[in-house]
């Protein structure tokens, strides 16, 4: 089972991501969601998802903090973190990479970017 975690405080983005992931056509995907960084961290520790789509601007704990904890403090290098954010400045991307993010996608995103990233990380052929 491929576990994908969506850490996002906007319900509309969660819905859009969930629908996008459903179009991959793979029955072996479990989608997990968290509305803030603290809940996201708990889920990452418990479920160890293959890929995390992580917003930056969230309550409780922002995406940079969560990414740093997962990648540097907990050394979970097997968890692929994709920053998915409206913060599109080059300095924001650098800050994400410095925190340990594997990839950086800006909103509004193209569904094919999400599908391609999942296919690449989870080794899933898109139907």
pLDDT band at 127 (very low <50, low <70, confident <90, very high): low
pLDDT single digits (tens) 55-93: 999 988 999 999 999 999 999 999 999 999 887 788 888
Domains (ranges, CATH) in the chain? Answer: 2-118 (3.40.50.2300)
What local confidence, expressed as pLDDT, does residue 25 receive? 80
User: CA angle at residue 3 from 112 to 37, to 5 degrees?
Assistant: 90
In 3-state terms, the chain is what percent helix, strand and coil (to 5)?
A: 45, 20, 35
Cα 12 from Cα 80, distance rounded (Å): 23
Query: Which 3 state secondary structure label does DSSP give 78?
Result: coil
pLDDT single digits (tens) 12-32: 999 999 999 998 887 899 999
Residue with tokens 């898109």: 126
What local confidence, expressed as pLDDT, does residue 38 receive? 96
Q: State mean pLDDT over 36-54.
A: 97
Q: State mean pLDDT over 38-50.
A: 97
pLDDT single digits (tens) 31-42: 999 999 999 999
pLDDT band at 125 (very low <50, low <70, confident <90, very high): confident
What local confidence, expressed as pLDDT, does residue 50 receive? 97
Query: Which 3 state secondary structure label does DSSP give 1?
Result: coil
- With a cut of 80, say whether residue 126 has pLDDT above it: no
Cα 37 from Cα 54, distance rounded (Å): 9
Residue 107 CA, distance from chain mean position: 13
Q: What is the pTM of this model?
A: 0.94
């Amino acid at each position: 089972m491929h576990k994908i975690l969506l850490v996002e405080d906007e319900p509309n983005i969660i819905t859009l991501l969930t629908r996008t992931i459903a179009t991959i056509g793979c029955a072996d995907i479990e989608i997990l969601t968290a509305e803030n960084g603290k809940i996201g961290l708990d889920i990452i520790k418990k479920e160890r998802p293959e890929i995390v789509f992580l917003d930056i601007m969230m309550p409780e704990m922002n995406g940079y903090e969560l990414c740093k904890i997962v990648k540097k403090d907990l050394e979970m290098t097997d968890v692929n973190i994709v920053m998915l954010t409206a913060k599109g400045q080059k300095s924001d991307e650098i800050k994400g990479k410095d925190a340990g993010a594997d990839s950086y996608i800006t909103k509004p995103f193209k569904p094919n970017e999400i599908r391609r990233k999942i296919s690449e990380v989870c080794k899933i052929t898109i139907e």
